[in-house]
Amino acid sequence: MDNIKNIVTGGIITLFIGGTAFTFSQQDVVDNFAADTGMTQQQAEQYVNSVTDDELVPFDELGAGYIEESKDTLSVVAEIDCDLYEYEWESLSLTCVIGKTQLQRLAAAERNLGQSYIRLNADSAGETDMQNTISAIDQLSSTYNLPIASALFGEASISEMIMTNSYNKSMLTAALESN
């Protein structure tokens, strides 16, 4: 990935955002990941080491993916008819109307994060954009705790989505702390 591609030399990573190169160690990413996820240092190191270059994509591509997911989520919302149907995910605490509202919140968080990632790819991107992206990551990850997310995605998928978000957040945090 052009701007997040790890240029690793002896455990040193260089991340390009805007016109700035941020240099930090892979251990910084591991430390941030462990702190964010509650994993042990060893577990965090295993996870960070398991991320391959093929899994890393440019910020603009990552952002476009989240914006597309947002559109897909809104399409699902548009198809939900609370008057005519009862959905298998509905319960006493998760009514159809609440589920639709939660899905709209999820879509907004996906779109917001997508736009934040795209901004990181701009030549003018800087530390404020990085901080805004970290906040958008946290916002999206918090929506995965909504009952509708558990009902639709399942715990294993949610866990992996949160881990991916945490990895990206850990990279951005390490870059910010490197200055």
pLDDT band at 54 (very low <50, low <70, confident <90, very high): confident
Q: pTM of this prediction?
A: 0.89
Minimum mean pLDDT range among 11-15, 104-108, 146-150: 11-15
- The total number of residues shown for the chain amounts to 179
Please enumerate in sequence order all residues whose Cβ is within 8 A of that of 161, keeping only pairs 6 or more positions apart, or say none: 141, 144, 153
Q: Which residue has the tokens 């901080």?
A: 131
Predicted confidence at residue 132, as pLDDT, reads 97
* Residue 8 within a domain: no
**CB neighbours of 47 closer than 8 A, spacing ≥ 6?**
33, 39, 163, 167
The verdict on residue 2 lying in a domain is no
- pLDDT score, position 19: 83
18 pLDDT tier (thresholds 50, 70, 90)? confident
**Residue 46 within a domain:** no
Residue 17 lies in a domain: no
Q: Is residue 5 part of a domain?
A: no
Is residue 179 over pLDDT 80? no
Residue 6 lies inside a defined structural domain of this protein: no
Query: How far apart are alpha carbons 12 and 9 in whole angstroms?
Result: 5
10 within domain boundaries: no
Residue 35 resides in a domain: no
Domain tally for the chain?
Answer: 1
pLDDT tens digit string along 85-138? 999 999 999 999 999 999 999 999 999 999 999 999 898 999 999 999 999 999
Domain span holding position 99: 58-177
Binned at pLDDT 50, 70 and 90, residue 164 comes out as very high
